[in-house]
Amino acid sequence: MYSEPQHQRRLSNPHALFSSGIYDSQPRSTIPDTVTLCFDQLKNEVQKLVDEDHAHRLHTRNLESDLNVYKNAYARVEEECQRLSRVKFECEKQAAELQGCNEEVLRQNEDLKLQLKGHRITVLIDGDGTIFEDQLIAQGQAGGHTAAKQLSESITQYLTQANGTYQYQIRVYVFLNKRGLADTLGRAGFSAAKARFDDFMMGFNLAAERFIMVDVGSAKEAADAKIKALLEDELKLPQTEKIIFAGCHDNGYATTLRSQITAGFKDRLILLQGYTDMAAGMSDLNLPYFSIPDLFMSKKLVVATSNSIAGPTLAPPILPALPTSQVPGLDPEAPIEFQSPAQQAFEALPFASIGAEISAARSPPASYSSAVQTRAPKPKRAITPELDSSGSTSSSDDDEAIITNVRASLTGARPRRLNPNVPLSKQKPPPCTLFYLSNCKHGADCKYGHDYELTNEHYDEIRVNAKKSPCPSKNKGEMCLWGEDCCYGHHCPLTTKCHFFKQNRCKFIGADMHKEQKVQSTEMM
C-alpha cells in the first residue's frame, strides 16, 4: 500500500504537529518560522516535481515529434520502394522485350550476312583424270548443258543434306588438255565424243556464268599447276565456304591438300570422286567425299593396241642388228616403232625416252591422265641408270661420242662385245634397258646399244639397276598394269633406311614406296 510521507501527514493535520511534540520542545515564538520553513521546502519540492514533469512532457513531445518525422520518412521510403519496385518490374519487362528484339536483330543480321556471303562454293576439276562420260560428250552442246546441270544439282543436293538449305553460289573450274583428251577418246573407240568435244566444252561454258572449262594445252602438269594455285587462293578468301576438289585419281595432289589441312582448312575441303578407285594418298587424307553417278567415267581410259603383249620380255634373244634395208616389207627411210603397254607406261622415265621425235600416231600410255601431260622428248641424250647402290641415274658420258658409237653399233652385222674393264652403264653406248628387258620403240634411232652380247649375269645386272628406278605409274599413285612383273621398281631399294627420302630427294615418291616389304624379290636381295 501507498504510505504517505510523514511530513505530508503532519502538514495535512497541523494539530498533529503540536500533538506530536515537535513544537512542544520549541518556544511559542519559533513555531511560525518552522511552519514557514516546511512550507518553503514543500513548495520547492512541488516546484521541482512540476519542472521535472514539464521537462518530461517536453521530452515526450519531442520524441513524439521525432517519431512522426521517422514515420513520415519511413512512409515516404516505403512509397519510394514501391515505386522503384514498379519501375524495376517495368525495366525488367522492357529488358526482356529488348533482349528478344536484340536476338531477333542478331538473327536477322546473321541471315543478312549469310545472304551477302551467298555460301560461295568453288569446284576444282582436273579434267585430264576426272573425265565426263563419253555419252554426254557425244551430245555436243546439249551434253555440256546436261553435264553442268547435273553437276550443279548434285552438289547442291549434297551440301543441303550436309549443311542445310541455303542459296549456294557454285563456281566450277575444269582444267584439261583438250587436244590430248579428244585424241585419246578417239583412240579409245569414242569417235563420236572426239568429234563433238569442242561443242561439249562450249555447251558447258554457256550453261552458267560461273562454269568454266579451260584448255590448258599439252604442257606437262599444266592443269595441276593451275588447280593448285586456284586452290590456295580460294582457301585464303573468307567468302569461300567449301572447296570441292575433283582430282582423286592423282596422288600428286595429296601433298598439296595435306599442307592445306595442316594450315587449318580441313573443314572447307570436300573430295568429288571420279574413278571408282581413289589414289591411296588421297584416301589417307580422311576428307569427306561423294560421287555423282553417270557424270564422270568410273574407269580410266585404256587404249588397246594391236602390238600389246601379255607380259614384259625379261630376257629377249640376242640377235645381230640388221639395217632396215635388209628387213623385207619395210621402208628403209621409215623408223621402226615398237608399241607395247610396257613402253607406254615407262616412256616418262629419262632412260626410257630418247631424243628422236615421236610421231603423232604413237599409241598413248595406258593411263590417259599421264598421257595428256607427257611432253615430246627433247633432242638430247637421255640418262641411263648407274650400277651403284644408290640407284643414281647420272652419267658423265659425252653425248656426241655416244651418238657416234650408237650409229656405228647399228650398222654392224655382228653382235658387239662389252668392254670388260668398263662398267655396264659406262659402255659406249650403254645397253638399252627397254630393249633387253621389254621392247624399245625407237629401233634404229635409239641412242643406246641393241647389239651387245650379254650373259645371264648382264641381264640380272640390268634388271637390278632397272629396279632402282621408280615405276611411273606407282610413282603417281596409280595401278601398274604389269604388277610384280614390272621391270621397274615399285619400292625404294633402301625402304625405311633411305636418307634421300628424309631429305625429300628420293625419286620414289609414290605412296607406300618406302615401307618395309615382307618378301623381297631375288633381284633386290
Residue 511 maps to a domain:
no
In this prediction, residue 313 carries a pLDDT of: 39
d(CA 156, CA 169): 9
Report pLDDT digits (tens) over 457-497.
888 888 888 888 898 888 888 888 777 778 888 888 888 88
Residue 269 maps to a domain:
yes
CA-wise closest residue to 312 among 434, 464, 492 = 434
DSSP 262: I
Burial 13-39 (b: 16+ CB within 10 A, else e): eeeebeeeeebeeeeeeeeeeeeeeee
Answer whether residue 234 shows pLDDT above 70: yes
Answer whether residue 5 shows pLDDT above 80: no
d(CA 166, CA 312): 56
Q: Do 338 and 486 share a structural domain? A: yes
CA-wise closest residue to 184 among 194, 192, 176, 174 = 194
Average pLDDT value for the chain: 75
Counting the structural domains of the chain, the total is 3
Mean pLDDT of 439-461: 83
Tell the burial category of 328 from Cβ atoms under 10 Å away from its Cβ (0-12, 13-18, 19+): exposed
Band (511; pLDDT cuts 50, 70, 90) = confident
Mean pLDDT of 449-457: 85
Identify the residue whose cell numbers are 520524441. Answer: 63
Look at 211 and 356; give whichever has higher pLDDT.
211
Report pLDDT digits (tens) over 137-195.
999 999 999 999 999 999 999 999 988 888 889 999 999 999 989 988 988 889 999 99
Residue 452 maps to a domain:
yes
Q: What is the dihedral of CA 496, 505, 312, 511, to 10 degrees?
A: 60
Look at 455 and 193; give whichever has higher pLDDT.
193
250 touches 222 (CB < 8 A): no
Band (518; pLDDT cuts 50, 70, 90) = low
Q: Which range has the top average pLDDT, 308-322, 330-344, 448-462, 507-521? A: 448-462
Q: Partners of 269 in the beta sheet?
A: 243
Residue 278: half-sphere exposure toward Cβ, Cα within 13 Å: 21
Residue type, 145: H
Answer whether residue 70 shows pLDDT above 50: yes
In this prediction, residue 1 carries a pLDDT of: 44
Peptide bond into 415 cis (omega under 30): no
In this prediction, residue 362 carries a pLDDT of: 40
- Of the candidate ranges 116-120, 135-139, 238-242, 486-490, the one whose mean pLDDT is the lowest: 116-120
Band (455; pLDDT cuts 50, 70, 90) = confident
**Domain range enclosing 70:** 9-113
428 touches 405 (CB < 8 A): yes
Residue 508 maps to a domain:
no
Q: Which range has the top average pLDDT, 345-349, 436-440, 451-455? A: 451-455
Q: Do 88 and 219 share a structural domain? A: no
374 touches 347 (CB < 8 A): yes
184 touches 176 (CB < 8 A): no
- Of the candidate ranges 19-33, 150-164, 300-314, 386-400, the one whose mean pLDDT is the lowest: 386-400
Answer whether residue 418 shows pLDDT above 70: yes
Whole-number percent of the chain with pLDDT over 90: 33
Residue 524 maps to a domain:
no
Name the domain boundary from 67, 82, 113.
113
Biggest CA-to-CA distance, the chain: 197
Look at 356 and 452; give whichever has higher pLDDT.
452
Report pLDDT digits (tens) over 341-386.
444 444 434 333 333 333 333 444 444 444 444 443 433 333 333 3
Residue 519 maps to a domain:
no
Q: Do 497 and 419 share a structural domain? A: yes
516 touches 496 (CB < 8 A): yes
Answer whether residue 213 shows pLDDT above 90: yes
Q: Do 494 and 356 share a structural domain? A: yes
Q: Do 80 and 123 share a structural domain? A: no
- Three-state SS string over 320-368 comes to CCCCHHHCCCCCCCCCCCCCCHHHHHHCCCHHHCCCCCCCCCCCCCCCH
C-alpha cell read off for 308:
600389246
Answer whether residue 60 shows pLDDT above 50: yes
Mean pLDDT of 59-74: 91
Q: Do 334 and 428 share a structural domain? A: yes
Burial 238-262 (b: 16+ CB within 10 A, else e): eebbbbbbbbbbbbbbbebbbebbe
Secondary structure element (H or E) that encloses residue 270, with its range: strand 269-273
Report pLDDT digits (tens) over 260-298.
999 999 999 999 999 988 888 888 899 999 999 999 998
Look up the CATH number of the domain holding residue 241.
3.40.50
Q: Do 431 and 352 share a structural domain? A: yes
DSSP 431: B
Q: Do 91 and 123 share a structural domain? A: no
Residue 150 maps to a domain:
yes
In this prediction, residue 323 carries a pLDDT of: 39
Q: Do 178 and 29 share a structural domain? A: no
Q: Do 376 and 494 share a structural domain? A: yes
In this prediction, residue 89 carries a pLDDT of: 93
In this prediction, residue 202 carries a pLDDT of: 95
DSSP 304: -
CA 18 vs CA 24, 28, 38, 163, 239: distances in Å:
6, 11, 14, 124, 126
Secondary structure element (H or E) that encloses residue 38, with its range: helix 31-117
Band (519; pLDDT cuts 50, 70, 90) = very low
Name the domain boundary from 113, 130, 162.
113
In this prediction, residue 114 carries a pLDDT of: 64
Q: Do 269 and 339 share a structural domain? A: no
Residue 514 maps to a domain:
no
Q: Do 137 and 102 share a structural domain? A: no
Answer whether residue 21 shows pLDDT above 80: no
123 touches 272 (CB < 8 A): yes
